[in-house]
């Protein structure tokens, strides 16, 4: 169960979130919990999550280890901040910041090299869904952004299916629509990496996940977890999703 805070919260707000959130998920041992705040809050989040079963992740990274790349943050820096995870290829990065399948792959490899667990995002835009291209789009994103990984690398990533039309719009994919897309992705995994990898890979659904729809989404055997934006900003709401 992963929370993506996007560009919200200060360090002080981060600390107060964890004060409320920790007791609410103390007994939640059925899942892994990861929260991805902005870079400026990573230190506060790591400190506030210490001793709890809550992983902290960044929302992006650059693939070089260090260098003259003003404004960028590398995987080793994220590790040194105490993070365990990083989101890669979020649709907002693809849409507004020029992220491509090629750069998704570079970032994923850099994250893995540093020992992070990348949460690699794929998903179709509204016009692609409406013109019947959903499967083709997912296949291309998988083939170019994920399939070049070795089996050993692939075994360490988490995949997130986030239909762009469902993100921040209040339009959740129906559990059936989400499960269909997950099946396409799992089929790609099976063809490229084999049945055991297809069984083992965790595919999260993201896009307007809320406390009142988490349970029906999670009831789909194809959906292994969720990547939550807006509803992860409030401690009660995210705890209700975690404890669906
Ligand atoms: P949302 O965002 O839950 O606010 O739709 C999901 C995401 O972008 O990860």
Checking if the pLDDT of 187 tops 90, the result is yes
| Res 240: pLDDT | 98
Q: What is the whole-number distance in angstroms between the Cα of residue 169 and the centre of ligand 1? A: 9
Q: What is the pLDDT of residue 22?
A: 98
Given a cut of 90, is residue 171 above it in pLDDT? no
Note the residue count of the chain. Answer: 244
Residue whose CA lies nearest to ligand 1 atom number 6: 229
Q: What's the pLDDT at 83?
A: 98
pTM of the model: 0.97
The atom number, within ligand 1, closest to the CA of 228 reads 3
- For the chain, give the mean pLDDT: 97
Residue 181 has pLDDT above 90, yes or no: yes
The Å distance, Cα 30 to ligand 1 centre, comes to: 22
Instruction: Choose the residue to mutate in 160, 161, 230 for probing ligand 1, maximizing ligand atoms within 8 Å of C-beta.
Output: 230
Each residue's pLDDT tens digit, 58-72: 999 999 999 999 999
231 CA closest ligand 1 atom index: 3
Confidence of residue 168 (pLDDT cuts 50, 70, 90): confident
- Percent of the chain at pLDDT exceeding 70: 100
Query: Could you list the active site residues?
Result: 90, 162
The average pLDDT across 120-136 equals 96
The pLDDT of residue 88 is above 90: yes
User: What spacing in Å lies between the alpha carbon of 94 and ligand 1's midpoint?
Assistant: 14
**Token output for 196:** 């055991």
DSSP letters spanning the chain: -EEE--S---HHHHHHHHHHHHHHHTT--SS-EEEE--GGGHHHHHHHHTTSSEEEEES--BSSSSSS-TT--BHHHHHHTT--EEEES-HHHHHHS---HHHHHHHHHHHHHHT-EEEEEE---HHHHHTT-HHHHHHHHHHHHTTTS-HHHHTT-EEEE--GGGSSSS-PPPHHHHHHHHHHHHHHHHHHH-HHHHHH--EEEESS--TTTHHHHHTSTT--EEEESGGGSSHHHHHHHHT-
208 C-beta closer than 6 A to ligand 1: yes
What's the pLDDT at 170?
Answer: 86
Whether residue 202 has pLDDT greater than 90: yes
Task: Retrieve residue 85's tokens.
Answer: 């995870």
Q: Which residue has the tokens 């998704």?
A: 104
Predicted confidence (pLDDT) per residue in 129-147, tens digit: 999 999 999 999 999 999 9
The Å distance, Cα 143 to ligand 1 centre, comes to 24
Atom of ligand 1 nearest to the CA of 230: 4
Q: Is 207 in the pocket of ligand 1 (CB under 6 A)?
A: yes
Q: Is the pLDDT of residue 23 over 90?
A: yes
């Amino acid at each position: 169960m992963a929370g993506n805070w996007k560009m919200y919260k200060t360090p002080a707000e981060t600390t107060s979130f964890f004060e409320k959130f920790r007791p609410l998920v103390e007994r939640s041992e059925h899942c892994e919990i990861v929260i991805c705040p902005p870079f400026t809050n990573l230190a506060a989040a790591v400190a506030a999550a210490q001793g709890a079963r809550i992983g902290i992740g960044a929302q992006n990274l650059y693939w070089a280890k260090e260098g003259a790349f003003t404004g960028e943050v590398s995987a080793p820096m994220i590790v040194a901040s105490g993070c365990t995870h990083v989101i890669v290829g979020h649709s907002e990065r693809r849409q507004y910041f020029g992220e491509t399948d090629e750069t998704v792959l570079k970032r994923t490899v850099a994250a893995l090299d540093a020992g992070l667990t990348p949460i690699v995002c794929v998903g179709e835009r509204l016009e692609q869904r409406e013109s019947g291209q959903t499967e083709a789009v997912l296949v291309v994103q998988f083939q170019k952004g994920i399939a070049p990984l070795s089996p050993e690398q692939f075994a360490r990533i988490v995949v997130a299916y986030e239909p762009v039309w469902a993100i921040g719009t209040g339009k959740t994919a129906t559990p059936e629509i989400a499960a269909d897309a997950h099946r396409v992705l799992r089929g790609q995994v099976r063809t490229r990496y084999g049945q055991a990898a297809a069984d083992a890979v965790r595919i999260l659904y993201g896009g307007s996940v809320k406390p009142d729809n988490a349970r029906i989404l999670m009831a789909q055997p194809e959906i292994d977890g969720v990547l939550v934006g807006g509803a992860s900003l409030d401690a009660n709401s995210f705890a209700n999703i975690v404890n669906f």
